[in-house]
Amino acid sequence: MKARSLKLLLVTAAFAFTLAACGDEAPSEGHGTPVSVKLFATGTNTELPQPYALPSGTTTRVTVHFYDADGDDISQALVDSGHFTSLTFASVAFATAAGVTGEVFQRDVTVFADPGAASELSVGYGHDAAADEETFGPYAVTASEGAPAVRMSER
């Protein structure tokens, strides 16, 4: 009888462990859970202040940095563990964000709107290229002075 009880206890414990492992992902030892995001100009590694102002008619390479509840930048740990990001503008007529080959937390942002135009930007986060498990924002963004952009389809 004791062996049967012990076997039942072990099977129950294994089942409970399996259920826990299949639930929401707990933060791994290598990184925490992102709770905030900041955007940086990639070439200069300069933080872009909010509300965001991006030059009209130009392409700006932007790097997304994620931070945990302690304020620590956990971006590299997230990249190393297979996470992705996305940038989405409320209007594609305002701007587009194209992926950068080999750089999952970078986007080339091209603003088509006239200077002074406003929109909203949302930052996605996830475990696949859709980066749709968590959304940060929306954040206010305006088009600042810059040269006119030409869409690839207009060339």
Spatial distance between the Cα atoms of 75 and 103, rounded to a whole number of angstroms: 12
**pLDDT, average across residues 106-121:** 96
CATH of region 32-150 = 2.60.40.1080
Q: Residue 12 has what pLDDT?
A: 37
Under DSSP, the state recorded for 100 is E
Listing DSSP states for 27-60 in one string gives PPTT-----EEEEEETTTTEEPPSSEEEEBTSEE
Q: Which residue carries 């790097």 as its tokens? A: 63
d(CA 106, CA 14): 41
Kindly report the pTM of this predicted structure: 0.74
Kindly tell me if the per-residue pLDDT of 122 is higher than 50.
Answer: yes
Asked if residue 66 lies in contact with residue 73, where contact means CB atoms within 8 angstroms, the answer is: yes
Tens of pLDDT, residue by residue over 10-29, are 333 333 333 333 334 444 44
Q: Check residue 36 and give its pLDDT.
A: 96
